[in-house]
Amino acid sequence: MPPPKPRAQGPAVQLDPDELLARAEREAFGGDERLAEQNATLDEKGLRRMVLAFERRYAANQTARLKHADEPDKFVDSEVDLDEEIKRLGTLAGYPELYPEFCRLNAVPSILALLSHDNPDIACDALVLLNELTDADAVESSEEGGAALVASVKENSGYELIYQCLERFGGEASPEDQAAIGNVLGIVENCADIDVDAAADFCAAAPKLLKWLLKRIGSKKPTDNNKLAAAEVLAILVQTSDENKKRVGDIGGIDALLRAVAPFKGKDPADEGEREVLENIFDALVASTMETNNKKAFVENEGLELMLMMMKSKRSCRTSAIKCVDYALTRCPAACERFVDILGLKTVFSVFMGKGFEKLRKSAGLEAVQEEEERAVSVVSSLFLHLAKGSERYNRLCAKFVEDEHAKCDRLAELYAKYSNRVKAVDARLETRTNEEFELTPDDLYVERLGGGLYTLELLSLIFASVFATGHAGIRTRLLLQMELRGVRRILETHAENIGGADGEEERVRRRAHVVKLLVAIGGGRPEGEEEEAKAAE
């Protein structure tokens, strides 16, 4: 029997590698194409398919809602399908490098439009998606992708639409509403983290945002995740934008912030969450007081009185309180005068002398002790700089260095030696760096030294020169027993040379002239070129 003839075979079919991979994935997931697609590596081709499917579902839902506006049963299926497509888009969070293509496909406007969807569940899903896509972990590997997404959100009026969700779900009457608010706050924070201008842009597009946040942190409701998030977002928005600092003042925010911290003048936070909320509110308050007009509002709303009570109470907020006083008194003569009038000298010099530091070290650590010490030095320095020389207030300040047998002079010398040694240690460390390892400019070196203690040492030198310039024989004798004028003069000369113009040319000239006068008072002469500036300031 002859052998069977071989079957005729057609030309071999060359399967596309992508199709082979897709087939293998479908087989691996039991033939479920949707499950296989979710677990596949996403590329531009896959993204286009995903966006197209989403847009189709969205269009179908819009059509069904228009056609059967009074018959929800007839469009509910389309909303289930749309909900699934929104959640599928969450896969994109793992591929931030595809965000520019996602924006080019014009998908962002559709996502933002969903925030106003009549079905709150759909709107909430859109918030979840935006929060996931802008999350720091999602965009970490592609800054360009994150920037493209935030830019597209801004260009398509996204900031306004996102804020409107705060008003829509702001009652937080249900767990779903609470989750929605949490996602909104997360989006705001994420955008501000990705784009440095987003903090100002968000509040410009949604002017009521800061007011909403201030109201939320001032709420008497128990501290929850949303209150914590609101305080954190408020601090970020104010700290990263000068425009927002001004906006806080314009809407009465200084008073609102003071009211929010006031309950803690006599008690400590109940738990870690409340403690974090309080810290963020203080951060927002401190940042706000950097704005000139807000300093005035801070004084008028008795902010200094409140901070002094907190400093005296020895509660956990005392460190934040003295930090706030420091910022409020900086470049503000009116605040300095008010501080003396309300008997603040006794309180700040108690900190200056280190009273209560051992207890503070045990409860809050060395970092808190260090900050209080440096803030006290800064406050005293501001008082010497801004109080009118020869005035009653100025004389009361100088008298502090005479009382208790010149104890403040001894403490001044002690602190000067401490920070001088700290700066020497920094200088020694900088000298060990080779030019091959680091290329530091003179400005870089100065900044390094400032962070290593030189800033506080300069302030201590200003205090020393101011006290020495009074001409009081007892003060001069006490200081000269423990300190060398040559070292102080050298620090002041360095300080004068490095006073910048960040606060304006007029302020720079005034401050340099002030240092020149102190140098003359302690026998240091004038640094080269300062004579004309001193005359201009006078």
Digit-coded pLDDT (tens) for 229-263: 999 999 999 999 999 999 999 999 999 999 999 99
Confidence band (pLDDT; 50, 70, 90) for 41? Answer: confident
Q: Distance of CA 149 to CAs 51, 63, 128, 138, 154, Å?
A: 15, 28, 15, 12, 9
The encoded tokens of residue 464 equal 């020393």
Do residues 93 and 138 touch, judged by C-beta distance below 8 A?
yes
DSSP 8-state code for residue 71: -
The 10 Å CB-count burial string (b at 16+, else e) for 61-93 is beebbeeeeeeeeebeebbebbbebbebbbbbb
Average pLDDT, the chain: 89
pLDDT in tens, 360-410: 999 899 999 999 999 999 999 999 999 999 999 999 999 999 999 999 999
Task: State the DSSP string of 201-257.
Answer: HHHHHSTTHHHHHHHHHT--SPP-HHHHHHHHHHHHHHHT-HHHHHHHHHTTHHHHH
484 pLDDT above the threshold of 90:
no
15-31 average pLDDT score: 51
535 pLDDT above the threshold of 60:
no
The phi and psi torsions of 240 (rounded to 5 degrees) equal: -100, 5
- Dist CA 389 CA 320 (whole Å): 30
- Dist CA 74 CA 59 (whole Å): 15
- Dist CA 122 CA 60 (whole Å): 14
pLDDT over 70, % of the chain: 89
Q: Which residue has the higher pLDDT, 9 or 299?
A: 299
Q: Quick one: which of 220, 144, 225 has its CA closest to 189? A: 225
Cα dihedral sign for 480, 484, 490, 495? Answer: negative
| Whole-number pLDDT of residue 485 | 87
Do residues 402 and 476 touch, judged by C-beta distance below 8 A?
no
Confidence band (pLDDT; 50, 70, 90) for 296? Answer: very high
DSSP 8-state code for residue 31: T
Task: State the DSSP string of 493-529.
Answer: HHHHHT--STT-HHHHHHHHHHHHHHHHHTT----TT
The encoded tokens of residue 186 equal 């997360």
- Dist CA 395 CA 471 (whole Å): 12
| Whole-number pLDDT of residue 374 | 97
Place of tokens 């008072």: 521
Q: Find all residues with CB under 8 Å of 204, minimum gap 6, and list them.
A: 243
| Whole-number pLDDT of residue 389 | 93
| Whole-number pLDDT of residue 533 | 42
> Which CATH number applies to 31-206: 1.25.10.10, 1.10.10.10, 3.40.50.720, 3.40.50.300?
1.25.10.10
Confidence band (pLDDT; 50, 70, 90) for 191? Answer: very high
Confidence band (pLDDT; 50, 70, 90) for 440? Answer: confident
| Whole-number pLDDT of residue 534 | 42
| Whole-number pLDDT of residue 49 | 96
| Whole-number pLDDT of residue 10 | 42
pLDDT in tens, 137-184: 999 989 999 999 999 999 999 999 999 999 999 999 899 999 999 999
Which ranges in 17-142 belong to alpha helices (H)? 17-28, 33-38, 44-67, 76-89, 99-104, 108-113, 120-134, 136-139
pLDDT in tens, 488-506: 999 998 898 888 777 778 8
- Dist CA 508 CA 495 (whole Å): 12
Confidence band (pLDDT; 50, 70, 90) for 16? Answer: low
